[in-house]
Structure 1
Amino acid sequence: MNRTHLAFVGAIAAAALAVTACGSSSSTGSAASSSSVSSAPAAGSPAPAAGGGSITIGSANFAESVLLMDVYAEALRAKGITVTTKPKIGAREVYIPAIKDGSIDLIPEYSGTLLAYVDTTSKAASSADIYAALPAVLKPSGLEVLAQSQAQDKDAIAVSAATAAKYSLKTIADLAAHAGSLIIGAGPEFKTRADGVAGLKSTYGVTFQTFKTLDSGGPLTVAALKNGQIDAADLFTTDPAVPAYKFVLLQDPKNLYTAQNVLPLISSKKVTPTITSALNAVSAKLDTATLTALDKQVYGGTDPDAVAKTWIKANGLG
């Protein structure tokens, strides 16, 4: 990624102050889309402890990722796994090395952007093709993905309704004739990622006058777009701010932003039948409408862990 907004301006402000925060917690307690990942522990993996083993789950530095981290955590605690959480550890450029070096063992991911990160040459765009391509490119790093959910949250280029009307914008391509006098805002990683500034130029011929570093689809970016400090933004398609502020998500006919199914990325050393079945059961219950509704609660000020616990219990997963 990573969302009615007028009702939670205070929550947004609080989130802005905490956008770089990092913490951890630990406790014991608490079949989706086709998966090509083995449900057995990887060769040489230690057997789970009597209480079910332990795992450290991280999240990226935006609210939806924290929510999904808590959902995974509650599902695993329900199966007797000892869980430590490390929220908001950073963008993909930070958390992929962290899972490789064992600082974390598991993180919620988005299939398309994950593939683009580990394989810059991939042309896969559909959910099925992206999912099929991931195991081979992740295996050399000792990583794998479990079953993907039907939930998708894609990056999108958003503009205000006024900007869309002024320049007759419907697709990203429509920006090409006007972007030279416009400002785009996004998280710092957007400036260098293949599906960020570079991708807009190579795919659509869109070059903005200025790139303004904000947060990754978070409250700073939303506020800047709402207040006219930027003209376009990289936002998430499940963000409640989009309908709340009547932002326009520009169509992406050339699939710069590919399918983005939510799925667990895990160190192969930590894969066990218990962990796999628990997380696959989560993916089986999670679709885009559900994720959007959960996001709305979080952005409305409800603690993500409380949202996760309620959802896990309501769906018979805890």
Structure 2
Amino acid sequence: MNSTNSPVRRRRPAPTAVRSLATAVTLAAALALSACGGDSDPLSSGSGGCDGDTNKITIGSANFPESETVANVYAEALRANGFAIDTKLNIGSREAYIPALRDCSIGLIPDYTGNLLQYLDKSATATAAEQVNQALTTALGDQLAMGAPAPGEDSDAVVVTRATADKWNLQTIADLAPHAAEVSFGAPAEFAERPGGLPGLKNNYGLAIAEDKFVPIGDGGGPATVRALTSGQVTAADIFTTAPAIKENNLVVLADPKHNFPAQNVAPVFNAKKKSDKATAVLDAVSAKLTTAELISLNEAVSGTTKTEPAAAAKAWVAAQGLNKPTG
């Protein structure tokens, strides 16, 4: 789903093979989400709306496991502090959940500072964490508000298989550019338009991916994306740096020396009417514990060999961090 201020460019029809792949991968992603028990339309049920009660918050998540897990972490910590919490998980991409946050269909969601800034301000150029956070203060406007970003960061990355990296001697994204004509690229559909997506890769590194070589995969760098990469259906993919699949599959993250992908610290983002001093204090305590190592640990619990449900992994983590009791 796209907001009205984020038009999607019409594309030429893809060749049959690529179009079939896109259909298959999209179906696989949909089945994966269905298997996880996500609602087909999470915004269609549950309570919402800004009724003036800041003690009652509906928490949303994007449609990938880390976002769902962190949303459950927020929910557990807030419940321990007396908040009445509802959840609407697996909403979709930022193009779907930011409008829901603005109209108070949800009151809180975990997000990533750099991508959120670029979504809210297409002209933003900040890449360093401090610069991004400062710019976000303005870009959030009056409707949205943010708690303290966590030290934990989960950035987009251009990822290839070890075989591809060895074949072309790849170390950085720039090294992939001379082979662009041979590269099929898998990523969420919105990656084709976002400043840090295909436009940024072309502007910063000369990596120009042809329209018929872009394969939209709707699971946010998750299992369907990894399968497409490891099976050779795509040559490179956008996968988050904290994904356990990178280590499990001996994948290679290409270095980004020009900071095409900005700082991506995890931060709680509120509808401004739902932000209170009490909720901020609780979530600031959560953020202080949420390092990159802890994000990887949570992801390994959920997406690794144990396949723990996000809610269960979140509950165990909150207890282990001593956040399952009133703050202060």
Q: TM-score, normalised by structure 1?
A: 0.85
**What are the within-5 Å matches in structure 2 for residues 76-91 of structure 1?**
76-91=78-93
**What are the within-5 Å matches in structure 2 for residues 216-295 of structure 1?**
216-295=220-299
Secondary structure of the residue aligned to 2:150 is: coil
2:12 match: none
2:215 match: 212
Secondary structure of the residue aligned to 1:89 is: coil
Secondary structure of the residue aligned to 1:85 is: strand
Mapped to 1, the partners of 2:46 and 2:298 lie a distance apart of 23
2:194 match: 193
1:112 match: 114
Secondary structure of the residue aligned to 1:193 is: coil
Paired amino acid for 1:95: Y
Mapped to 2, the partners of 1:47 and 1:88 lie a distance apart of 24
Structure 1 residues without counterparts, runs of 5 or longer? 1-11, 28-43
Contact in 2 for aligned 1:26/1:83 (Cα 8 Å)? no
1:186-207 CA-partner distances (Å, limit 9, x unpaired): 1111112111111111121111
1:304 match: 310
Contact in 2 for aligned 1:161/1:247 (Cα 8 Å)? yes
Aligned length: 286
- Identify the range of structure 1 (62-71 vs 198-207) with the bigger mean alpha-carbon deviation: 198-207
Mapped to 1, the partners of 2:163 and 2:30 lie a distance apart of 24
- Structure 1 residues 211 and 200: CA distance shift in structure 2, 3 A: same
Structure 2 residues without counterparts, runs of 5 or longer? 1-28
- Identify the range of structure 1 (298-307 vs 62-71) with the bigger mean alpha-carbon deviation: 298-307
Mapped to 2, the partners of 1:103 and 1:120 lie a distance apart of 24
Q: CA deviation at 1:208?
A: 2.2
Secondary structure of the residue aligned to 1:55 is: strand
Contact in 2 for aligned 1:19/1:61 (Cα 8 Å)? no
Mapped to 2, the partners of 1:285 and 1:272 lie a distance apart of 20
2:66 match: 64
1:102 corresponds to which of 104, 108, 114: 104
2:38 match: 21
Paired amino acid for 2:214: F
- Structure 1 residues 190 and 20: CA distance shift in structure 2, 3 A: farther
2:147 match: 146
Mapped to 2, the partners of 1:316 and 1:173 lie a distance apart of 44
Tell which has more relative contact order, 1 or 2 (C-alpha 8 A, sep 6+).
Answer: 1
Contact in 1 for aligned 2:243/2:296 (Cα 8 Å)? yes
Mapped to 1, the partners of 2:35 and 2:188 lie a distance apart of 15
2:22 match: none
1:128 corresponds to which of 109, 127, 130: 130
Q: TM-score, normalised by structure 2?
A: 0.83
Paired amino acid for 1:131: N
Contact in 1 for aligned 2:53/2:274 (Cα 8 Å)? no
Identity of aligned residues (%): 47
- Structure 1 residues 194 and 13: CA distance shift in structure 2, 3 A: closer
